[in-house]
């Protein structure tokens, strides 16, 4: 588990309906951070169906979901749960915060 927060971007660089990717240097985890109507959410940037980055997919800001471009699996960006086949396992969700004018996240898994 990483106790170190990873800088994602300046707060103004992540507008509602947008996403940014980062890399937790401590755990080696790719993370994608979403701004959904001003609320921030962070998920592991990897589809649980097949190892492929979710950030390549389409963000549906109305539904609050991300679709993997590889096979069409969709995930709720608020909690990471799989919304349709071929994925059945949730994507790990991480804490995200605004601090010192920036957006920060970390891999908090044990």
Inform me whether the pLDDT recorded for 17 exceeds 80.
yes
Inform me whether the pLDDT recorded for 33 exceeds 80.
yes
Percent of the chain topping pLDDT 70: 99
Inform me whether the pLDDT recorded for 2 exceeds 80.
no
How confident is the model at residue 3, as a pLDDT? Answer: 85
Strands (E), the chain: 6-10, 19-24, 29-36, 39-44, 58-60, 65-67, 74-76, 93-94, 96-99, 102-105
pLDDT per residue as tens digits for the range 58-96: 999 999 999 999 999 999 999 999 999 999 999 999 999
Give the Cα-Cα-Cα angle 57, 35, 92 (nearest 5 degrees).
65
């Amino acid at each position: 588990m990483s106790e170190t927060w990873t800088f994602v971007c300046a707060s103004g660089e992540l507008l509602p309906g947008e996403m940014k990717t980062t890399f937790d240097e401590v755990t080696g985890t790719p993370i994608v951070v979403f701004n959904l109507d001003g609320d921030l959410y962070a998920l592991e940037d990897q589809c649980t169906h097949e190892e492929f980055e979710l950030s390549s997919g389409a963000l549906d800001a109305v539904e609050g979901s991300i679709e993997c471009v590889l096979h069409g699996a969709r995930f709720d960006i608020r909690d990471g749960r799989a919304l349709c086949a071929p994925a059945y396992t949730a994507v790990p969700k991480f804490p995200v915060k605004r601090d010192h004018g920036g957006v920060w996240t970390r891999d908090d898994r044990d």
